[in-house]
Amino acid sequence: MSRRTPIEPQRVDAPLTQSATFLVLSVTDKPEAIKTVRSTLASVDDLSKNVAIRDLDAAFACTVGIGSNIWDSLLSGVPRPAELHPFPTISGKVHTAVSTPGDLLFHIRAQRRDLCFEFERQLMDRLGDCVKVEDETVGFRYFDVRDLLGFVDGTANPVGASVDESVLVTEVDDAGSAGGSYVVVQKYVHDLKRWRGLSTEQQEAIIGRTKLDNIELNDVDEDKQKAHKQLATVQGDDGSELSILRDNMPFGTPGKGEFGTYFIGYSRKLWVIEQMLDRMFVGSPPGLHDRILDYSTPLTGTTFFVPSATVLASLDDD
Protein backbone atom coordinates (compact mmCIF):
# COMPACT_ATOMS: atom_id res chain seq x y z
CA MET A 1 0.00 0.00 0.00
CA SER A 2 1.44 3.39 -0.93
CA ARG A 3 1.56 6.04 1.77
CA ARG A 4 1.11 9.68 0.81
CA THR A 5 2.06 12.75 2.80
CA PRO A 6 -1.21 14.42 3.78
CA ILE A 7 -1.72 17.77 2.07
CA GLU A 8 -2.21 20.57 4.54
CA PRO A 9 -4.05 23.65 3.26
CA GLN A 10 -3.05 27.17 4.28
CA ARG A 11 -5.33 28.95 6.80
CA VAL A 12 -7.80 30.10 4.15
CA ASP A 13 -10.64 29.39 6.59
CA ALA A 14 -9.13 31.50 9.42
CA PRO A 15 -11.82 33.32 11.44
CA LEU A 16 -12.92 36.88 10.70
CA THR A 17 -10.72 39.22 12.72
CA GLN A 18 -10.73 42.84 13.87
CA SER A 19 -7.79 43.79 11.68
CA ALA A 20 -6.23 42.72 8.38
CA THR A 21 -3.52 43.82 5.99
CA PHE A 22 -3.78 43.09 2.28
CA LEU A 23 -0.32 43.28 0.75
CA VAL A 24 0.15 42.86 -3.01
CA LEU A 25 3.74 42.73 -4.27
CA SER A 26 5.55 42.25 -7.57
CA VAL A 27 8.85 40.41 -7.74
CA THR A 28 11.66 42.63 -9.11
CA ASP A 29 14.30 41.57 -11.61
CA LYS A 30 17.16 41.55 -9.05
CA PRO A 31 19.34 38.49 -9.79
CA GLU A 32 18.68 37.00 -6.35
CA ALA A 33 14.94 37.83 -6.29
CA ILE A 34 13.48 34.42 -7.11
CA LYS A 35 15.74 32.62 -4.62
CA THR A 36 15.01 35.12 -1.85
CA VAL A 37 11.26 35.04 -2.44
CA ARG A 38 11.21 31.23 -2.54
CA SER A 39 13.03 30.91 0.76
CA THR A 40 10.85 33.63 2.34
CA LEU A 41 7.68 31.85 1.23
CA ALA A 42 9.02 28.59 2.64
CA SER A 43 9.54 30.30 5.98
CA VAL A 44 6.14 32.03 6.18
CA ASP A 45 4.96 29.34 8.58
CA ASP A 46 7.91 30.02 10.94
CA LEU A 47 7.45 33.77 10.60
CA SER A 48 3.76 33.35 11.46
CA LYS A 49 4.64 31.33 14.55
CA ASN A 50 7.11 34.04 15.67
CA VAL A 51 4.31 36.56 15.71
CA ALA A 52 1.32 34.38 16.68
CA ILE A 53 2.96 33.18 19.91
CA ARG A 54 3.02 36.73 21.28
CA ASP A 55 -0.76 36.59 21.77
CA LEU A 56 -2.30 33.22 21.13
CA ASP A 57 -5.82 34.61 21.60
CA ALA A 58 -5.36 37.03 18.72
CA ALA A 59 -6.09 34.44 15.97
CA PHE A 60 -3.11 35.47 13.84
CA ALA A 61 -3.08 33.94 10.35
CA CYS A 62 -1.40 34.71 7.05
CA THR A 63 -2.29 33.20 3.70
CA VAL A 64 -0.05 33.60 0.66
CA GLY A 65 -1.23 33.73 -2.96
CA ILE A 66 0.94 33.46 -6.09
CA GLY A 67 0.05 35.25 -9.34
CA SER A 68 -0.12 33.70 -12.79
CA ASN A 69 2.80 35.56 -14.39
CA ILE A 70 5.34 34.54 -11.74
CA TRP A 71 4.08 30.98 -11.18
CA ASP A 72 6.40 29.15 -13.58
CA SER A 73 9.63 30.84 -12.49
CA LEU A 74 8.84 31.04 -8.78
CA LEU A 75 7.25 27.64 -8.35
CA SER A 76 9.20 25.69 -10.96
CA GLY A 77 8.50 22.03 -10.37
CA VAL A 78 5.05 22.66 -8.88
CA PRO A 79 2.26 21.98 -11.40
CA ARG A 80 0.45 25.09 -12.64
CA PRO A 81 -3.14 25.25 -11.31
CA ALA A 82 -5.49 24.37 -14.16
CA GLU A 83 -7.56 27.58 -14.07
CA LEU A 84 -4.84 30.08 -13.10
CA HIS A 85 -4.61 33.14 -15.36
CA PRO A 86 -4.28 36.90 -14.76
CA PHE A 87 -7.39 38.81 -13.67
CA PRO A 88 -9.30 39.62 -16.87
CA THR A 89 -10.46 43.19 -17.45
CA ILE A 90 -14.27 43.03 -17.47
CA SER A 91 -15.93 45.90 -19.30
CA GLY A 92 -19.61 46.54 -18.94
CA LYS A 93 -21.46 49.36 -20.71
CA VAL A 94 -20.90 51.70 -17.75
CA HIS A 95 -18.32 50.20 -15.37
CA THR A 96 -15.04 48.34 -15.79
CA ALA A 97 -13.34 45.84 -13.49
CA VAL A 98 -9.71 46.83 -13.97
CA SER A 99 -6.86 44.32 -13.98
CA THR A 100 -3.76 45.40 -12.02
CA PRO A 101 -0.34 43.79 -11.45
CA GLY A 102 0.67 41.57 -8.54
CA ASP A 103 2.84 38.45 -8.16
CA LEU A 104 2.30 37.84 -4.45
CA LEU A 105 -0.61 38.37 -2.07
CA PHE A 106 -0.23 38.29 1.70
CA HIS A 107 -3.58 38.26 3.50
CA ILE A 108 -2.56 38.98 7.08
CA ARG A 109 -5.23 38.69 9.77
CA ALA A 110 -5.36 39.13 13.56
CA GLN A 111 -7.53 40.52 16.30
CA ARG A 112 -4.78 43.06 16.96
CA ARG A 113 -3.38 45.55 14.48
CA ASP A 114 0.09 45.34 16.05
CA LEU A 115 0.45 41.64 15.18
CA CYS A 116 -0.40 42.31 11.51
CA PHE A 117 2.08 45.20 11.52
CA GLU A 118 4.84 43.13 13.14
CA PHE A 119 4.45 40.23 10.71
CA GLU A 120 4.54 42.56 7.73
CA ARG A 121 7.62 44.31 9.11
CA GLN A 122 9.52 41.03 9.50
CA LEU A 123 8.33 39.86 6.09
CA MET A 124 9.42 43.04 4.28
CA ASP A 125 12.81 42.89 6.07
CA ARG A 126 13.42 39.55 4.42
CA LEU A 127 12.09 40.45 0.99
CA GLY A 128 13.91 43.81 0.78
CA ASP A 129 14.36 45.10 -2.76
CA CYS A 130 13.46 41.73 -4.28
CA VAL A 131 9.85 43.02 -4.29
CA LYS A 132 7.95 46.16 -5.21
CA VAL A 133 4.78 47.09 -3.31
CA GLU A 134 1.82 47.32 -5.69
CA ASP A 135 -0.76 47.92 -2.96
CA GLU A 136 -0.90 47.83 0.81
CA THR A 137 -4.31 48.22 2.42
CA VAL A 138 -5.05 48.10 6.13
CA GLY A 139 -8.59 47.02 6.89
CA PHE A 140 -10.57 47.18 10.12
CA ARG A 141 -13.72 45.54 11.40
CA TYR A 142 -16.55 48.07 11.50
CA PHE A 143 -19.15 47.49 14.23
CA ASP A 144 -21.20 44.29 13.62
CA VAL A 145 -19.27 43.23 10.48
CA ARG A 146 -20.62 46.15 8.43
CA ASP A 147 -19.09 47.62 5.30
CA LEU A 148 -18.82 51.39 4.97
CA LEU A 149 -22.08 51.39 2.99
CA GLY A 150 -23.62 50.45 6.35
CA PHE A 151 -24.66 46.85 5.54
CA VAL A 152 -23.68 43.61 7.30
CA ASP A 153 -21.16 41.99 4.92
CA GLY A 154 -20.32 38.28 4.88
CA THR A 155 -23.63 36.76 5.98
CA ALA A 156 -24.00 34.26 3.12
CA ASN A 157 -20.49 32.87 3.60
CA PRO A 158 -20.27 29.08 3.87
CA VAL A 159 -19.84 27.70 7.39
CA GLY A 160 -18.71 24.36 8.86
CA ALA A 161 -17.97 21.53 6.44
CA SER A 162 -19.12 23.55 3.44
CA VAL A 163 -16.14 25.92 3.84
CA ASP A 164 -13.63 23.33 2.61
CA GLU A 165 -16.04 22.22 -0.08
CA SER A 166 -16.32 25.80 -1.39
CA VAL A 167 -12.69 26.84 -1.20
CA LEU A 168 -10.34 23.86 -1.55
CA VAL A 169 -9.33 22.31 -4.87
CA THR A 170 -9.71 18.52 -4.57
CA GLU A 171 -7.61 15.66 -5.98
CA VAL A 172 -10.42 15.03 -8.47
CA ASP A 173 -10.60 18.68 -9.61
CA ASP A 174 -6.86 19.08 -10.23
CA ALA A 175 -4.55 16.62 -8.45
CA GLY A 176 -1.40 18.76 -8.72
CA SER A 177 -3.10 21.70 -6.97
CA ALA A 178 -5.10 19.81 -4.34
CA GLY A 179 -5.48 21.63 -1.03
CA GLY A 180 -5.06 25.02 -2.71
CA SER A 181 -7.53 27.80 -3.45
CA TYR A 182 -8.04 30.55 -6.00
CA VAL A 183 -8.27 34.04 -4.54
CA VAL A 184 -9.38 37.29 -6.18
CA VAL A 185 -8.91 40.74 -4.67
CA GLN A 186 -10.36 44.12 -5.63
CA LYS A 187 -9.89 47.39 -3.79
CA TYR A 188 -13.07 49.48 -4.07
CA VAL A 189 -13.55 53.12 -3.09
CA HIS A 190 -17.05 54.41 -2.36
CA ASP A 191 -18.72 57.71 -3.14
CA LEU A 192 -20.32 57.89 0.29
CA LYS A 193 -21.76 61.33 -0.23
CA ARG A 194 -23.89 60.14 -3.13
CA TRP A 195 -24.68 56.82 -1.39
CA ARG A 196 -26.00 58.71 1.63
CA GLY A 197 -28.20 60.69 -0.73
CA LEU A 198 -30.23 57.50 -1.37
CA SER A 199 -33.10 56.51 0.90
CA THR A 200 -32.58 53.41 3.07
CA GLU A 201 -35.13 51.56 0.87
CA GLN A 202 -33.16 52.41 -2.28
CA GLN A 203 -29.94 51.19 -0.65
CA GLU A 204 -31.64 47.98 0.49
CA ALA A 205 -32.91 47.31 -3.05
CA ILE A 206 -29.33 47.65 -4.35
CA ILE A 207 -27.84 45.27 -1.78
CA GLY A 208 -30.78 42.82 -1.51
CA ARG A 209 -31.00 42.85 2.30
CA THR A 210 -32.50 45.16 4.90
CA LYS A 211 -30.00 47.53 6.47
CA LEU A 212 -30.82 47.34 10.17
CA ASP A 213 -31.61 43.68 10.69
CA ASN A 214 -30.01 42.12 7.59
CA ILE A 215 -33.10 40.26 6.33
CA GLU A 216 -32.89 38.96 2.72
CA LEU A 217 -35.25 40.60 0.23
CA ASN A 218 -37.00 38.42 -2.35
CA ASP A 219 -35.23 37.77 -5.66
CA VAL A 220 -36.71 39.45 -8.75
CA ASP A 221 -37.57 37.90 -12.15
CA GLU A 222 -34.73 37.15 -14.58
CA ASP A 223 -35.42 40.15 -16.84
CA LYS A 224 -35.50 42.72 -13.98
CA GLN A 225 -32.82 44.84 -12.28
CA LYS A 226 -31.33 42.53 -9.67
CA ALA A 227 -29.80 43.34 -6.30
CA HIS A 228 -26.11 42.70 -5.59
CA LYS A 229 -27.05 39.60 -3.61
CA GLN A 230 -28.84 38.04 -6.58
CA LEU A 231 -26.21 39.04 -9.16
CA ALA A 232 -23.49 37.52 -6.99
CA THR A 233 -25.32 34.19 -6.87
CA VAL A 234 -23.89 31.62 -9.28
CA GLN A 235 -25.21 28.12 -9.87
CA GLY A 236 -23.59 24.87 -10.95
CA ASP A 237 -24.88 22.63 -13.77
CA ASP A 238 -27.21 20.88 -11.33
CA GLY A 239 -28.78 24.18 -10.21
CA SER A 240 -27.07 24.19 -6.80
CA GLU A 241 -25.59 27.49 -5.54
CA LEU A 242 -21.79 27.69 -5.64
CA SER A 243 -20.40 29.58 -2.65
CA ILE A 244 -17.17 31.47 -2.24
CA LEU A 245 -15.57 32.57 1.04
CA ARG A 246 -15.33 36.35 1.45
CA ASP A 247 -13.40 38.25 4.10
CA ASN A 248 -14.10 41.82 2.93
CA MET A 249 -12.77 44.60 5.10
CA PRO A 250 -13.54 48.32 5.31
CA PHE A 251 -10.60 50.69 5.01
CA GLY A 252 -10.30 54.45 4.81
CA THR A 253 -9.04 57.79 5.99
CA PRO A 254 -11.90 60.26 6.58
CA GLY A 255 -9.46 63.20 6.59
CA LYS A 256 -8.62 62.42 2.96
CA GLY A 257 -12.18 61.55 2.02
CA GLU A 258 -11.21 57.93 1.34
CA PHE A 259 -13.80 55.26 2.14
CA GLY A 260 -13.50 51.74 0.79
CA THR A 261 -14.18 48.04 0.83
CA TYR A 262 -11.36 45.61 0.17
CA PHE A 263 -13.01 42.63 -1.53
CA ILE A 264 -11.31 39.25 -1.12
CA GLY A 265 -12.91 36.03 -2.30
CA TYR A 266 -11.52 32.50 -2.00
CA SER A 267 -12.88 29.77 -4.25
CA ARG A 268 -12.28 26.19 -5.29
CA LYS A 269 -13.16 27.25 -8.83
CA LEU A 270 -11.91 30.49 -10.34
CA TRP A 271 -14.70 30.61 -12.91
CA VAL A 272 -17.28 31.02 -10.14
CA ILE A 273 -15.81 34.38 -9.01
CA GLU A 274 -15.30 35.48 -12.63
CA GLN A 275 -18.93 34.72 -13.40
CA MET A 276 -20.01 36.76 -10.37
CA LEU A 277 -17.90 39.67 -11.64
CA ASP A 278 -19.36 39.31 -15.10
CA ARG A 279 -22.90 39.41 -13.72
CA MET A 280 -22.01 42.49 -11.65
CA PHE A 281 -20.16 44.52 -14.32
CA VAL A 282 -21.84 43.44 -17.57
CA GLY A 283 -25.15 42.74 -15.87
CA SER A 284 -27.72 39.98 -16.05
CA PRO A 285 -29.39 40.51 -18.43
CA PRO A 286 -26.51 42.49 -20.01
CA GLY A 287 -26.95 46.22 -19.41
CA LEU A 288 -28.56 45.82 -16.00
CA HIS A 289 -25.32 46.03 -14.00
CA ASP A 290 -24.96 45.87 -10.22
CA ARG A 291 -26.04 49.29 -8.88
CA ILE A 292 -23.45 48.97 -6.09
CA LEU A 293 -20.97 49.94 -8.85
CA ASP A 294 -22.63 53.33 -9.36
CA TYR A 295 -21.27 54.15 -5.87
CA SER A 296 -18.16 51.92 -5.75
CA THR A 297 -15.13 51.97 -8.09
CA PRO A 298 -12.53 49.21 -8.19
CA LEU A 299 -8.97 50.60 -8.19
CA THR A 300 -7.34 47.16 -8.40
CA GLY A 301 -8.17 43.64 -9.55
CA THR A 302 -5.74 40.72 -9.21
CA THR A 303 -5.99 36.93 -9.15
CA PHE A 304 -3.75 34.50 -7.25
CA PHE A 305 -3.54 30.86 -6.33
CA VAL A 306 -3.00 29.92 -2.69
CA PRO A 307 -0.97 26.69 -2.80
CA SER A 308 -1.25 24.26 0.10
CA ALA A 309 0.97 24.86 3.14
CA THR A 310 2.76 21.64 2.19
CA VAL A 311 3.75 23.10 -1.19
CA LEU A 312 4.86 26.42 0.36
CA ALA A 313 7.04 24.70 2.93
CA SER A 314 8.73 22.63 0.20
CA LEU A 315 10.01 25.67 -1.71
CA ASP A 316 13.27 25.76 0.20
CA ASP A 317 14.16 22.15 -0.59
CA ASP A 318 16.59 22.98 -3.40
Under the binding rule (CB under 6 A), the answer on residue 232 touching ligand HEM is: yes
Under the binding rule (CB under 6 A), the answer on residue 188 touching ligand HEM is: yes
Under the binding rule (CB under 6 A), the answer on residue 273 touching ligand HEM is: yes
Under the binding rule (CB under 6 A), the answer on residue 247 touching ligand HEM is: no
Contact stretch for ligand HEM (CB under 6 A) within 17-25, 31-39, 146-154, 309-317:
146-154
- The greatest distance separating any two alpha carbons of the chain, rounded to the nearest whole angstrom, comes to 67
Under the binding rule (CB under 6 A), the answer on residue 228 touching ligand HEM is: yes
8-state DSSP, 137: E
* 153 given a catalytic annotation: yes
**Please, which residue, 37 or 292, has the CB nearer to ligand HEM?**
292
Among 11, 95, 187, 209, indicate the residue that binds ligand HEM (CB under 6 A): 209
Exposure string for 234-267, b = 16+ CB within 10 A, e = fewer: beeeeeeebbbbbbbbbbbeeeeeebbbbbbbbb
Backbone CA torsion sign across 35, 41, 42, 44 = positive
Q: Are 198 and 284 in contact (CB under 8 A)?
A: no
**Please, which residue, 52 or 163, has the CB nearer to ligand HEM?**
163
Under the binding rule (CB under 6 A), the answer on residue 153 touching ligand HEM is: yes
* Residue partners of 24: CB distance under 8 A and separation at least 6: 102, 104, 105, 133, 134, 135, 136, 185, 300, 302
Backbone CA torsion sign across 273, 16, 122, 317 = negative
Among 181, 186, 300, 302, indicate the residue that binds ligand HEM (CB under 6 A): 186
C-alpha span between 287 and 281 (Å, rounded): 9
Backbone CA torsion sign across 195, 201, 206, 207 = positive
Under the binding rule (CB under 6 A), the answer on residue 277 touching ligand HEM is: yes
Q: Are 16 and 154 in contact (CB under 8 A)?
A: yes
Nearest approach, Cβ of residue 300 and ligand HEM (Å)? 12
Site for ligand HEM in 82-111 (CB under 6 A): none
The H-or-E segment that residue 212 falls in is none
Under the binding rule (CB under 6 A), the answer on residue 158 touching ligand HEM is: no
Contact stretch for ligand HEM (CB under 6 A) within 54-62, 83-91, 133-141, 271-279:
271-279
Under the binding rule (CB under 6 A), the answer on residue 296 touching ligand HEM is: yes
If one counts every other C-beta atom within 10 angstroms of the C-beta of residue 156, the result is: 15
Under the binding rule (CB under 6 A), the answer on residue 227 touching ligand HEM is: no
**Please, which residue, 55 or 294, has the CB nearer to ligand HEM?**
294
Among 276, 282, 309, 315, indicate the residue that binds ligand HEM (CB under 6 A): 276
Q: What are phi and psi of 100, to 5 degrees?
A: -125, 155
**Please, which residue, 36 or 261, has the CB nearer to ligand HEM?**
261
| Catalytically annotated residue among 153, 174, 247, 278 | 153
- Residues designated as active site: 153
Site residues (vs ligand HEM, CB under 6 A): 147, 149, 151-156, 186, 188, 207, 209, 228-229, 232-233, 244, 261, 263, 265, 273, 276-277, 292, 296
